[in-house]
Amino acid sequence: MTSSVRTVSEPFVRVRFVQFSVGPQNQQLENLKLQVDTYDAQQISSGRPKFPKYDKEKHHFLFETRTKQGRQIVLGVFHDIKKTNYTFQTSIEDLIRNADNIIREYRFSDKGRASMSVELIIPNENVRDAQRAVDNKIHKHYGHEFLPKYFTILPVFCSECKKVLWGFNKPGYRCQLCDLVVHNECISQVTACKQLALVDSPSLPTIPHNFVLEPNFRPLFCDHDGKIIHPLRAWKCSECGMIVHSKCRTNVAKFCGTRQMVVKMYEQWKEQNQPNNAETYLIADDYTTEDIEANNKQLININDRLLHDQERTGAKQDLNRITKIFEGSGNSNQTISLYYNKSTALLNELTFHALLGHGMSGSVKHSKRHFALKALRKHRIFEANEYDCMKSERDVLHDVRGNPFIIRLYAVFHDFQRVYFLLEYAPCGNFYDFLVRFGSEFDNNCVKWFSAHVICAIGYLHSKLVMHRDLKPENVLLMRDGRLKLADFGFCKQFTSPKGTTQTFCGTCEYIAPEIYQHSAYSFPVDYWSIGIMIYEMLMLKTPFYHPHEVEIRTHVINGDFEYPTKISDDLQTVIAGLLTKNPQLRFGISDLRSSDCYSSPYSLEDIEQGVIRCPWKRPIPFNPAPEQFASMQPVRLSQIDEQSLCATLTLNKDDFRHLSFIDL
């Protein structure tokens, strides 16, 4: 593999972990282990955990991660690697907002506290470009670049109409350039963003605000980002009376007292400069009704009381009362209850056995049959704007049922807290665990066998115009007879035409094709690139473009080369070279693989599809987890959802889940 220097133009966050304490007692960092997990698509798909090494010279842990919207970062601090002692979860957006390289204290579970600094690394030195790169779906209006945002912890106020923004039925939008927060209904009323430069309107007034420190002795709310301003921290414009945080003073556009003039001039400017499609923003249907407003006020009141010890007991009682009404359990006519159906009954019939992995509740039993149950919290799906991904996964798995190379979906159902996927149980776990344990013993025939199953799965998906986009060993499951089955369709994309393309950036960094990294339009060949990475990993037990820091992987994938394994056969080398061709138009596809010498008899794709040959791995494939582990495991149950999250869940639109369920047992 060729060496490279940092030439990555993509921004990333660098975190320094410099101190950790439990209560009043500081812990020696050299005696601790730090685990970093990153979850994309709201934990529907995840990368491998990282264990940064302690730097004895600089006395800190250091790790980096890309600025990808919705990414969740989970830190685990260990005294014993087999047990997580303290955890902390945050989002990439929150890290970016604290990216000033100042050491701050962050609270972990069980009274743990860490001192960390966050730095936003911008290779092109353009911070705003980095923040805009957080998402591909920015809505432009009047110079602003709005991203959808749900506020579910503490309410904020719309900067325009001053109404509350909280819950999932009151979507808000935050400008990535100036932090302005508004309702979706109010976007058309906002004044220009501070970044707007109207070259065709040189007479646009630029009158700065005159902010002075306001000695407030009660909490206020910022007129710009809508968040609470604690006592003695408010700044008020002496001319127009606008009240803001200290940090918002530089984010407010210099239009003090000239709002109406600015709006009029912008309307004139729009007539002279017709916006392109990227700048056209369509306001969603009005979500506000009298019932929703009344319910939200009640839930916001409960949410606020939950934060105060003296009022928490009464707030919990009120929340339980509303929850029962929402579930319909108190309704004598059960047929009209949204959640009283076969789906709810099915959940009560399941017996939980073991935890299988993150995002999976575990192995469950129903009528003497074993299944895997994947449970997704509804509020987390919407917080990350991943409802469409969840719905797409459900639809694709429903449509490909019965294919022997894809894990079977038996049911999708939901209660008011979660969405459940009841899936075929793979008793030997994911292929990555098997590869780590036994991959050094693979011969060329084993590599052909296992890779052929993945190729057959992808070939079938592509025939249905579905692109997977997240192929990796963790997303392939292993059966007792050595067959592999493709799973986890959270990033899949379904086209309406074989020539369809997309430009969404997604996937796991070591398996992403170069055209995705280059932000080019891409299509089905990206899956074949990932297959090439997997075949190489089966032979070498590492990916060909690996680097400890994921921001370097992009450079290696686009410009780097790799070395072929010494034990590889000529036909496998030809396949790897064809699959890892950087030009997608020249990359091997299903027809090239079917006609290759590598996948000819006895391991032809046709024979694999017909199931006429046996797995060349001669040793028994172990269960994962092993049967004896089931007996020793503590009873598995669904995790408890905190009361504040339940409050937010109660604001969800029931119609989003009304036609989601199906059962095919």
470 is catalytic: yes
DSSP β-bridge partners for residue 493 = 467
The two structure tokens encoding residue 372: 């895997």
The two structure tokens encoding residue 59: 């006395």
Are 119 and 101 a contacting pair, CB within 8 Å?
yes
DSSP string, 82-130: TB--EEEEEEHHHHHHT-SS--EEEE-STTEEEEEEEEEE-TTS-HHHH
Distance CA 556, CA 513 (A): 11
Is the link from the previous residue into 625 a cis peptide, with omega within 30 of 0? yes
- CB contact set of 413 (below 8 Å; sequence gap of 6+): 342, 343, 344, 346, 347, 419, 420, 422, 660, 661, 663
The two structure tokens encoding residue 80: 């014993």
Catalytic residue among 470, 481, 597, 607: 470
* CB neighbour burial string for 165-200, b if at least 16 within 10 angstroms, e if fewer: bbbbbbbbbbbbbbbbbbbbbbbeebbbbbebebee
> What's at 38, amino acid-wise?
T
Element (H, E) at 349: helix 342-349
3-state helix, strand, coil in the chain (%, to 5): 30, 20, 45
The two structure tokens encoding residue 595: 């006609």
> What's at 289, amino acid-wise?
T
Positive or negative: CA dihedral 147, 152, 157, 160 = positive
The residues assigned a catalytic role are 470
